[in-house]
A and B are shown apart, each in its own frame.
Chain A
Amino acid sequence: MHRTRRLSWAIAGVLAAGAAAAHAAILVNGAGATFPYPLYSKWFDEFHKRNPEAQINYQSIGSGGGIRQILEGTVDFGASDGPMTDEQLAQAKVPLLHLPTVLGAVVPIYNVAGAGTLHFTPEALAGIYLGTVTRWNDPAIAAANPGTPLPDAAIVPVHRSDGSGTTYIFVDYLAKVSPEWAKRVGRGTSVNWPVGLGGKGNEGVAGLVRQTPYAIGYVELIYALQTKQPYGDVRNRAGRFVGATLASVTAAADAAAAHMPADFRVSITDPPGADAYPIASFTWLLIPTRIPDENKGRILKQFLDWMLSDGQSFAAGLGYAPLPPSVIAREREALARIAVGS
């Protein structure tokens, strides 16, 4: 009799502990851009340390995936570096907010032994990806890099095989600087690439370039830094060759920050400004304005609030530029529009 009762209490205790543990963790699921993934991964980890009950599970499947999954409602939030189009927004079951999180840069990485830091003109980049510039010692590249020995080897362009905001940023830039690109290929998170190999995610592109001699690819800066691959300068609208740095990316956002539209969807590629880096962009979290689950909504709002204050301090360490203060202020106003609970 005693043994049975003790056993029942033990079982009840275990169940209660299990139930308590299960209630303690609130899992919020998000998916999308690989562009900011290293930073988001750090943010969610840090936020989890500060709020042990909050588990924000983010899967970097590409901006296209983030947009699609949030439209279908299979994740709690999305992430994209290519802003959603009006048609896409119209498909959303619940109106979505674009909330900028950080500024990043898309850099051209390449695998050419002994080349150092190469300078790329817009024409060279467009030509490489259009297939008109095919060898590394082509004048389009050589003219901008006097004194650097360039091999007479075929260029292997690498692009994204999945739907990508990084792609969107890059082709948005190409479309602005190359009329032929705009006409032939256009803008989108997935495009019909004239040439090149496809890699899955920023990770896949960086991996392919790393393993393929004479390859060139475009990735978010942090992927070049973390894999220690050389990346090039790009000539901006003012005519200067600028590399992706904290200062140059922040400068790129200056002009846009002053005229930020209400829904935060803005492109800052090919900006004016002598020090501005030409292929930079905001990256956004796609948050529904109505979140029925109270716990999830609370966690998300807490995270967004933290992200706008303490979170920004992690950006520089990973090669991203923090948001301009004016943008942060406007975002806090926008946060209030997120309704939690039924």
Chain B
Amino acid sequence: MTTRTRRRVVERTMFALTGAATAVTLGILFFLLGYVAWQGAAAVSLDFFTHLPAPVGERGGGMANALVGSAKLLALAAAMGIPIGFLGGVYLAEYGGRLAGLVRYAADVLNGVPSIVVGITVYALVVVPMGHFSTLAGGIALGLMTIPVTLRTTEEFLRLVPAALRDGALALGAPRWVTIVRVVIPAGARGIAAGILLALARVAGETAPLLFTAFSNRYWSPGVRQPTASLPVMIFTYAIAPYDDWHRQAWAAALVLLAVVLGANLLARAALGRGRPA
């Protein structure tokens, strides 16, 4: 075989291998989605959305309280994580300085902390002093986890705002803070909103930190000072149990969770246009 042929054969082989890798990867990932969709669709019913869990071992019941609980937890997480992440990102983008490097590193650390460790910390800091598990503690744990993504996204999209806009406002005599608040931030608002949506979608699926903070609840959880059921925790509890009915409900819950998370991601991407994810 001539060198030229050998080289061509090598090229074809390697590209065939990468093609195979792609096929396998895509195949597995789409199988995953399809399987959840198939099992979940078979199990989802109106009861699932409207009923409370039934006593152990009895058929029927639903996860209405878990759906509401997850929504409340996300609302709390947003209330806590967005202000800190957003204003922190504003600082990084507009002012910078030595502090900025430290803040970025801290955000990276916070991002890399395993979610279960965040749960332990919030347990020690919130649950024990409060004296009981609560939706609030769960919301705080999830809020802590939204901070890094929100911070990074805000900084990134504020940096993308053209300098001409800032300069124009400053030239007209606006103080710096007015420039930021009324010119720069609105210009970057769409990307920031998309990033926040992505951050919330990410924590919507988190289970581990909720195990020690929001705990779980077989009833409705009024207010924020009581433990609450949540979709991910219910999926986990039902999946490892031996009851077939619980398994079915776990699939339904997984489908709902997946739909919400992927839907939020799609929405965020659409808002960003053909941009990179945050």
A and B directly contacting (CB within 8 A): yes
* Residues of chain B at interface, number, CB under 8 A: 24
Cβ contact of A203, chosen from B131, B132, B241, cutoff 8 A: B241
**Interface residue A295 (Cβ < 8 Å from any Cβ of B):** no
| B133 close to A29 (CB less than 8 A) | yes
**Interface residue A200 (Cβ < 8 Å from any Cβ of B):** yes
**Interface residue B173 (Cβ < 8 Å from any Cβ of A):** no
| B218 close to A222 (CB less than 8 A) | no
Q: Which A residues touch B243, using CB under 8 A?
A: 203, 226-227
Among residues of B, the one whose C-beta sits closest to the C-beta of A27 is B226
| B218 close to A204 (CB less than 8 A) | no
Q: Which of A68-76, A180-188, A328-336 contacts B (4 or more CB under 8 A)?
A: A68-76
In whole angstroms, what is the CA distance A21 to B216 when docked? 21
**Which residues of B in the span 54-74 have a Cβ within 8 Å of any Cβ on A?**
55-57
Residue in A37, A59, A223 whose Cβ sees the most chain B Cβ within 10 Å: A59
In the complex, per-residue mask of A194-207: 1 if CB is within 8 Å of any chain B CB, else 0: 00000111011011
| A72 close to B128 (CB less than 8 A) | yes
Among residues of A, the one whose C-beta sits closest to the C-beta of B238 is A203
| B242 close to A227 (CB less than 8 A) | yes
| B240 close to A74 (CB less than 8 A) | no
| B57 close to A38 (CB less than 8 A) | yes
The interface residues of chain A, by DSSP majority, are classed as helix
In the complex, per-residue mask of B79-113: 1 if CB is within 8 Å of any chain A CB, else 0: 00000000000000000000000000000000000
Residue in B133, B215, B241 whose Cβ sees the most chain A Cβ within 10 Å: B241
| B55 close to A42 (CB less than 8 A) | yes
In whole angstroms, what is the CA distance A44 to B218 when docked? 10
Cβ contact of B227, chosen from A29, A45, A199, cutoff 8 A: A29
In whole angstroms, what is the CA distance A207 to B243 when docked? 8
In the complex, per-residue mask of A226-242: 1 if CB is within 8 Å of any chain B CB, else 0: 11010000000000000
In whole angstroms, what is the CA distance A74 to B130 when docked? 8
| A207 close to B242 (CB less than 8 A) | yes
| B132 close to A41 (CB less than 8 A) | no
In whole angstroms, what is the CA distance A72 to B128 when docked? 7
| A203 close to B240 (CB less than 8 A) | yes
| B241 close to A57 (CB less than 8 A) | no
| A57 close to B242 (CB less than 8 A) | no
| B57 close to A222 (CB less than 8 A) | yes
In whole angstroms, what is the CA distance A206 to B220 when docked? 29
Among residues of B, the one whose C-beta sits closest to the C-beta of A223 is B242
**Interface residue B127 (Cβ < 8 Å from any Cβ of A):** yes
Cβ contact of B56, chosen from A27, A38, A76, cutoff 8 A: A38
| A41 close to B55 (CB less than 8 A) | yes
Cβ contact of B240, chosen from A22, A37, A207, cutoff 8 A: A207
**Interface residue B219 (Cβ < 8 Å from any Cβ of A):** yes
| A203 close to B242 (CB less than 8 A) | yes
In whole angstroms, what is the CA distance A29 to B132 when docked? 9
B interface, CB within 8 angstroms of A: 55-57, 127-128, 131-133, 215-223, 226-227, 237, 240-243
Task: Write 14 A-B pairs (CB below 8 A) sorted by A numbering.
Answer: A21-B222, A22-B222, A25-B219, A27-B222, A29-B132, A29-B133, A29-B215, A37-B56, A45-B55, A74-B127, A199-B240, A201-B241, A204-B241, A207-B241
